[in-house]
Structure 1
């Protein structure tokens, strides 16, 4: 391998390393998109594998070229083949990495793709697109989402490497980092922080450094490239400016509030009062305001007094939107685990089995008993279980026409067990997740402090809050028709007006319990309905309900129901007794609810007044623009990468000829430039005749020149072309060894001649020469039959 080839490989290796490090820094822009850093190792593995694959392929290509032409420049077809093989090989390497990480079962050796493993990988990617529609940022690092993120990081790495190393344009490769940066900017609600801005900025700085160092760096007489040589200080200044700009932008970007992946199960929609602003539970919409109840479910239980049927837990509280669903973990289907949601701690509960049949119920959320251990339902692989919330939800399936069985262990804590429950460590993730609150109205904080003054244990604090809502002396009333608040804070208004329905009671209690430092959440579902003559229970729209779950150490989630519901419909909770003086079912409150009765399960188009659950389109009903935008961006990136391949190969070919520096190589480059600009070959002409034709074409007013186009001094172009022609003739016909070495003057003549030809060519010809150079295609066509087309070609004007 020649010294020039080795030096080129060394430079390419440095640029490859810079491109890989820059891309790795760019992936840090995705930090606020996920709840933790589980996505980083796979993404980094993809970036490293792409860089290593590209470097090995380029070394192999140089070795092949050296073997084919040990004493001269490599054939054009070999250079083109290597340029095309590198990105293709990197994509193959990326496919191997994705297979090893996400679909190894049917792969050869656990990493080499097969038809079966590619099908498995496609299924994982498809799950990722569904998870993208379900998740709000910050998203759980589910396998499908991480796989898509790894694919994105790998494709960006391929594109950045192709532009930075293949076309030797490291600065232009920085556009690839913009793709990664756009993900948090377009999906994260609120602050994205400083790191997601400064990390890609540092990556861009590194690419600018590599570009400046490669373009402007000079070797010392001994052949060494000084660390602080020409251009390096410029690169350092440019890079530092990029980082500073990133820090400045980082202070501004947190004000952006673009949204989430798709809204998914996360916050969204309207809602008022301390209501739920419920997005996904379509079957609950408007049920509290129906003139006539609708039969929804039939329940056959193994005990005469079954507990609640849980539908979904709401864990995110926002002062404006109320309580909303958080991100659900959709990686486990109901048939995956032998035991879905066993109660924690050393205490047991009451086993309950039930058979549930959907009558008028149609929802993607499956009503189940408390703490389900197993669920038997048709197509179990399409029903997913979120262990954090005990929620069962479907993928492209609903409860319509379904019958399912549930085996559960209902919690039955005693007063002594609750009293003995110790406070949980504040740093525990569960505590941080379920005590999170926005800034509350000062009056709310004062109320919590007053209620819990002197309370020593979590149970005492919870009991104090619970009794505030259930004590008749405090004047809370059940009503679907509430007076509008005036404070601008729905929670504060409800606590002041003391009138509302179950979502408001449950939402207010959960917020106050959290403010008291105890984990809590709101749960939507159904009370167990009324007993029928055959012993089954009929659950109607009147049984739609909301209550509170509070987490106690070693006991798990324990339900509390602060709403003054009729005792015939209420679930008995011995640890949270109700006042016994309620004889009227509040759901028959004579005050009419001023709301239209929607048709189940059709969602309402607009938010309803007074905080009634707000229907939103489910992911099956509406596609988010964000996934489509990301897919479009990926497709555009891939198309641009492919479109840049011919231009990159042509740049490599020109650089190789310039590096060779022989008269033949320089003449070949001149004739190739002319061919790219539309001047076809004529083998009958000599180099001098070709030089005369090219000089005439580059003359102001001659050839393709038109008025208004910038002119290049015709005499300078003509002289440069003539010198190139004479050098070519001398090299072709003179005795071996009689031709003096080529100096930098001849390379300067080539630059002058190319500028003249480009200036005289029409704009369309210049664009075609850049994007789809005909000389490259002609060289490939000539290389296939192993024939040289025209050797030293002549051109006709």
Structure 2
């Protein structure tokens, strides 16, 4: 193996490591880095070692795959054989680990914990990418193409990070990729014997070394300029205002320092076009725990696809609580609710516009130098003027699913603290436009077996849990872009209501998920409302949390007997994280007094459809059913068009190959076969941009190609042998020996080596539009 191959192998491995480096911004610790470095280093060592003994490229790849598989098993305890080597159960162990990684991805927003499954997944994927990059760069001599898998690894971090990644992550990767190009194509330039330039009329022509040096210097300058421009332009672009608040959950103003507030009306039919990375505030909890979402406003009335917010009145001077006073639990929450008190200290609150204030609920006290009040109906905190720094003490319920599911906190009867909940019928109103589908879906979800998983079947908590888990199932997709109309909706020609459309398409963001749960709960007689605010933000190395405008969120609160207003989380975990402790599903079915359902079916999840009205839970679809479901009409049409395009693109290359075969078949003598091979080579060189002048003898053609063809030594020698054979075939006496087989091999060498000197558009054009396919092959 040459020294250049060693450098390319080292640069390829280093590029993979640098591309994976930003993954650290998505995880809470760096336990993934050690296994990743070992796997990537192993790929480089195996590749370098096998290439030193001239192993074939396919053998190198297969050995690298085997080495990565064994390394991942040893590093992550996947093997049950001797010494931790893979055994017959390695497949099931790997599947379990990947499922664990999937749960982590769905359950946490960045930064997520580096679980065993996630670390295994990172090691496996980076190992596979390292093999691909190593093969492309060293074996296929395609450093340019190797930039694509490197970019994919880098984009994994970009698309999952709430803020723009610093340039320090991008610059090293870009520079390493440029070094790969320089190393690979620089060595190709140095092997060029001549230059691909048209004959000059001037006698004052620079020699090859001078032109190559000048070309290389200019190329390096252009490359550096492009990288600097990419970084500079990104830094100069302003942060474009997001529509997340202005068209989804609230309103933003650009005057002054730029304030944020939630509007009094939220339209749940609008998609969210972008995500605003602007910081809203910074907070830290007294015990270091993750705080609940920060509530800002609340809605109970839903009219024609819009939530109408409960007004947030500013505090009156006479309503200001005494300094240091701790309030009791607000109206609507059981006064004897077991809880612990935690304090959140908020700073840098420079964008929230009063009277709204972002604070965990239920708030017990507020420490601020501005007037404040806690609303008796909503429990939300409002302020008289902007508070940049403040603290909020709030109650964290210490209830468990077993307590709630067993009904130990009360019965379905009216509770004395629940006056404001039950006296207001808005908390039980179901959207008339979607009532039929909501009722049917709720009945299907609340099958007896499903409800019994969570406690007493007729209890509000068990029903709420079953409803919450339905949209958190894999059949629902979290997306900032809402789904288009279904075929049935287009056929009806009527714009569907937002809730029904979401239940049919199972695609939306937090507002749709929360609204659907609220409507389904209300259809079962459970008072429910929607709260709008912010997720607790991303954890920083110093223990603080930065909340950004992109963390805007919506979640439902349901009135649970014996507890009061209780937070649930139907939005899938990739966006909102895990549900609160009391709303986390049990790992095993909860005991119940009912005996109507066997244990083996208690975990089945109903999948309601628009037409099926039976309340029984349907079986999980098999792989074939999911495959059929993937082929929607739009996807089938797209695949059909791609297939037609592929067939059309293949017509000309197939015609050219067939024409060359007919030409060779008609050659009745070895000399005619040599001439046929030469004709095919001349056409292919012409397709690649080097056509022969007419009227030249083979000896003169040798001089022509030797001067203008960018061929390394092996290609030039093969071309010389071909033209010598053509000369003998034309001018030697009849019956002179000829070797068509050797000529055919030399023709392949010439074509392959010359194609490497051409740009990829020229190579692509030569393949798709060959001269032999245009009727001139004969």
Structure having greater relative contact order (Cα 8 Å, sep ≥ 6): 1
- The verdict on a shared fold, with TM-score over 0.5 as the criterion, is no
TM-score by structure 2 length?
A: 0.44
